[in-house]
Structure 1
Amino acid sequence: MKLYYTPYTCSFAPHIVARELGLPLELRRVRLGAEARVLTDDRDYRELSPLGYVPLLELDDGRLLREGVAILRYLGDQDPAAGLSAPLGSFERAEQDQWLTYINSELHKTFSPWLFHPEYGEASVRVAGERLQPRLALVDRHLDGREFLGERFGIADAYLYTVAGWTKLLKIDLAPYRHLAAYLARLDQRPCIREALRAEREDAKP
């Protein structure tokens, strides 16, 4: 499989999951923008992803899967015994989908004006910051006394780690969210995350 990614974006989440499961994965780095290119071969990325954003997963048979949550679920389901994707039909899977949806709609999209849309202007950034506070607080309360979002590390944790990790890039003080801060610090040490970071750094070298 090939993962089309850009550093410091949501494409890091499926990279984490693939590493955790030991799935073979080729990295294809993408330069985002009006003329998005695959840096490996200078291909026009919009030929693969018409909207020009990451992640994109290309299967060995050439089929393409877009949208981060769909990719996370697909990868997690490749090894049911590993437990990263909760069992089909279980309440735990519904809870996992609840967190995936929340992270996608309430956190990921709220961060976007800061990181990816400077053209929206300062007013939009200010509103995003105000909206983010209660949303981070909800996650923080849930993590009180918990190691992960669910009973074990799962695909939603990979997504939350990636998105909540943007607080570091934006220098957002996590002091009011001490449970979330501790959660991120624990996951910083997880081998799959360290391996994914190392691989992306190596891939960026000329």
Structure 2
Amino acid sequence: MKAIMDEDKVIKLLDSQIRNSYGNVFWTHKIHEKDADIYRCWNNWIKIAQIVLSAISTTGIIFILFGVSQNTPLRDGQYDCVRWAALISSGISALLVIANSLAKGYDLGELSASHGATALKLLDLREEYLSLLYDIKAKTINVEEIQERRDELKERTLSVYANAPRTTSRGYGKASKAIEDGEPFFTKDSLNKILPVDLQEE
């Protein structure tokens, strides 16, 4: 009887450790998911800005050329219009240069894709941690099998973390809001919020 109780205690400790690992993977997955959304949004806005600014800049240049290429002399009011058009066109051209520089200096599309790929890998790991927790609860595996699967998942998780892009504070904030918990370390209550009902602890 004592040996059975000891094994139950070990399984309970392993279950607690795996729950915490599940929580960390869940949390990190959500941060990378939000960072992917942030970079994708910025990339889309910069592309739109490039198109709009380029169109406005070209229109301004055409207006200036049209204004100064007429055979008839320009009246005073027309000089003012051309001068303002030149100033506005120059300002828009400067903004276009900035937008182009941002697009070249920061590959936002690549950053979004990298965070998205990491999020997918973590989602797969999250589901495997969840399956392991269900197997523990159903008592279909013994201590050795639990330890073996835990260690294998730990190695894979560390490998994903090692190759993952750096997360941002904004992604952290959005993830925190999404799961209604801003703590990186999980209490029983916070884990219960992200675990299925069948796996929640009393």
TM-score by length of 1: 0.31
Give the number of the structure with larger relative contact order, counting CA–CA contacts within 8 Å between residues 6 or more apart. 2
Larger radius of gyration: 2
Higher strand fraction: Structure 1 or Structure 2? 1
TM-score by length of 2: 0.31
Higher helix fraction: Structure 1 or Structure 2? 2
